[in-house]
Chains A and B, each alone.
Chain A
Amino acid sequence: MTCKGVRKQLSAYVDGDLESVEAGRLDSHLRECASCAARERSLREAIERVAELPKLVSPESMAARVLSRLEVETRGPGLALMFRPRGAARPLMVPSLLPAALVVVAILGGALTLDRFRNGGAAFAGPAWDASVADSGTEQNPLFPSSDVTMPRARLGRIVDGAGYRAAAGEGSFFLETVVARDGTVSAVTLLDGDSVQARPIVDALRRELYEPVRVQGRPVAVSVYRLISRLEVRPPRI
């Protein structure tokens, strides 16, 4: 076997991919040829160094950001178009116009209704089309933090700090969703990932937390917050 032939097969050889006869030939060549043997050693070392590369971790939790971007995109075709990444498929114009036309009709209808009530002197109980958005921002359908919805701020003296979380977490790692209700209390804590028994002290602590109520356009809203808690890191999402 020639040195050139060995070089061609060296990668497959170190992976153990060669047939036994071929591997035997290469073995005997490497025993006799110092140059090829040195090449084999340096190849193994290079592979080892790539394998030893540390796993890099994003300093911020991805879930909250991705979910808030999805929330923005699903609000309507107008916003979705604004936030659509460059090069993504464009929706057809006609289907996009349909919701826009519905909004125009709703506004005109609302204005006409208001006008009718004012002329008739009757008290107006509230626009009927508001009911369609009433569910958004409730505890059953909380909002995600975004550029419009701020992260809930903990009331002083009640939040469990990072050290407290770590102490409670022990060796475990937990991914949790906390719903901060409209009155600032925690209405639900859901363990999405991690050992449920180990997570109990953290879940109990999270349930007792109190926050300043989050408001959107003056209206208190419920907000969903995702957290990753582990021995090494505590990462409430930053928006």
Chain B
Amino acid sequence: MATRELSFRSADALVGAAGQETGLVEQCRQGDPRAFARLVAVHEGMVFNLAARLLGDAEEARDVSQDVFLQVYRTLARFEGRSSLKTWIYRIVVNHCHNRRRLWSRRARGASRPLEDLTPSDEAKLSRAADGGGDPYDRVRRAEQAAQVQAALLSLPFRHRAVVVLRDAEGLSCEAVAEALGLPVGTVKSRLSRARETLRKRLGGPRGGDAL
């Protein structure tokens, strides 16, 4: 017979108001599946969005996101807390995307399905803003513009793309980007400068909405 004793615990009670991240990490290390589910729920948006922007393919981004969380689970014992958990996860996402991209380029000839760039339709379907209502024409225009920017991002070498996505799309400081990528700050700034210059040239025309 099923136990009818109902449990009801708020997130605060589960994790603790102070030192939430440390508490969550510690609970995950002890093998608490609920704590790990919460860790996934907290970071899955960031992980999927970053993977999708770096790979330009929603299906691949989903696979990579799952692999990222599996690696987080397996290697959480080695997380020393020198950086924030989020920064540590950023690094895992970038490494996975880099490996996936290399794998695809190596297998490109024999691949049954090539990496597909995010289309305006993907942008509209997957973006939070698209759910928010508003003028349908505006939504389509925004999706077209986003697809144009995404295509420009994909034209960059991966090492430049990673820097510009973390800095300008995710809003990290150059220091945080350097920490996430394990690079000197000077290297981040020089890659950022080159990446932005390429984007400037590619996005130099009028915004994509005019093409509609």
Given known pairs A56-B58, A56-B127, the reply for A69 and B45 (CB within 8 Å) is no
Is the CB–CB distance between A190 and B34 below 8 Å? yes
Please report the C-alpha to C-alpha distance between residue A217 and residue B38 in the assembled complex, in whole angstroms: 31
Q: Is A194 an interface residue (CB 8 A)?
A: yes
Chain B 46-81 interface 0/1 with A at a Cβ cutoff of 8 Å (1 = within): 011100110000100110011101100100000000
Which B residues are CB-close (under 8 A) to A203? 8
Main secondary structure of the interface of B (DSSP, over half): helix
Q: Is B85 an interface residue (CB 8 A)?
A: no
Chain A 179-216 interface 0/1 with B at a Cβ cutoff of 8 Å (1 = within): 00111010111111111100100010001000000000
Interface size class of chain B, counting residues whose CB lies under 8 Å from the partner chain: 35 or more
In the complex, how many residue pairs between chain A and chain B have their CB atoms under 8 Å apart? 189
Q: Is A147 an interface residue (CB 8 A)?
A: no
- Name the contact of A67 in the complex, choosing from B5, B33, B153 (C-beta under 8 A): B33
Which A residues are CB-close (under 8 A) to B153? 50
Is the CB–CB distance between A57 and B49 below 8 Å? yes
Please report the C-alpha to C-alpha distance between residue A62 and residue B149 in the assembled complex, in whole angstroms: 26
Is the CB–CB distance between B40 and A177 below 8 Å? no
Give B28 Cβ to nearest chain A Cβ, in Å.
11
Q: Which chain B residues (1-60) contact chain A, with CB distance < 8 Å? A: 1-12, 14, 33-34, 36-38, 40-42, 44-45, 47-49, 52-53, 58
Is the CB–CB distance between A70 and B70 below 8 Å? yes
Main secondary structure of the interface of A (DSSP, over half): mixed
Give A79 Cβ to nearest chain B Cβ, in Å.
14
Is the CB–CB distance between B126 and A191 below 8 Å? no
**B-binding residues in A (CB < 8 A):** 7-8, 10-12, 15, 17, 39, 42-43, 45-47, 49-63, 65-67, 69-70, 73, 85, 87, 139-140, 144, 175, 177, 181-183, 185, 187-196, 199, 203, 207, 222, 224, 226, 228, 232-233
Q: Can you report 25 A-B residue pairs in the complex whose CB atoms are below 8 A from each other?
A: A11-B193, A47-B199, A49-B145, A50-B153, A50-B169, A50-B199, A53-B146, A54-B127, A54-B128, A56-B58, A59-B125, A62-B40, A62-B65, A63-B44, A66-B40, A67-B33, A70-B33, A70-B36, A70-B73, A190-B9, A190-B14, A192-B41, A193-B42, A196-B10, A203-B8
